[in-house]
A = this chain, B = another copy of it.
Amino acid sequence: MTDGGRSAPDRLLAVLAAFDHAHPALSLTDVSRRAGLSLTTAHRLVGALTAWGALERDADGLYHVGLRLWELAALAPRGLALRQVALPYLEDLYEATHENVQLAVRDGTEVVYIEWLSGRSAVGVHIRVGARWPLHATGVGLALLAHEAPAFQQDYCAGSLAAFTPYTITDPVRLRRSLAEVRRTGVAVSSRQVTDDALSVAAAVRGATGQVAAAVSVVVPQSDAQVPALVPAVRLAARGISRALGWQPDRPDRTG
């Protein structure tokens, strides 16, 4: 195990990157191994991060992501800041439907879930805040992809389209047709694409410049989904968030 060849910032960031959803609590040895650093270096860097508050040490001696990083993350315009603007509209959507309600943004070829409201009685869907999925497999992903630049869509459709269920769209021609449908109707309906039993209805959220900034969706059990009833509610929520972000509906959109 060698620390050589990497810059000081890269080594510190490697310590942070050692933590992920599958590894939220790590011993010093875990950090050293996962970050590819000597135990001495890991010890020094974990110490600096803990003193600053980016990491916290629990009673068992394991390290976790700390509160200070969370406070810093609250400043991310595409994270908690966006979520803060959107939350009242997501709550309205939740109260109107009592189903899982989500807000997501695009990062590269994936969606990242920024918010996820679900009552204790709503359908159990395996999505959590901070989770990532490929764009083509989710309603929010289709809503985001459909409004990207044509070249981006072209590249995405030409790439490898992973299947999560037998129903996931993996055919580029079918995907392009779905995207055209999203642009025509203003909503994306994604049925049994991620799990066998869920259906989502999603719509794009625009920012002040008219550019698509996020997508909002409702996820329901596929078996008794009332799509026509969900569409206006999702559309209304997306427009509400867009307005709160400064979007003006009468201004021509810069995108699709």
Contact = CB atoms under 8 A, between A and B. Distances in A.
Interface string A168-189: 0000000000000000000000
A195 interface: no
Nearest to A244: B120
Given A91-B119, A119-B91, A73 B75 contact: no
B48 A84 contact: no
Identical copies of this chain, number: 2
Interface string A46-58: 0011001010101
A129 interface: yes
Interface residues of A, number: 56
A10 interface: yes
Contacts of A64: 75-77
Given A67-B107, A119-B91, A12 B19 contact: no
B69 A24 contact: no
Interface string A1-44: 00000011110110011011100110000000000000000001
Interface of A: 7-10, 12-13, 16-17, 19-21, 24-25, 44-45, 48-49, 52, 54, 56, 58, 64-67, 69-81, 84, 87-88, 91-92, 94-95, 105, 107, 112, 114, 117-120, 128-130
A72 B75 contact: no
A209 to B, nearest CB: 9
Contacts of A95: 95
Given A12-B12, A95-B95, A119-B91, A76 B72 contact: no
A120 B243 CA distance: 14
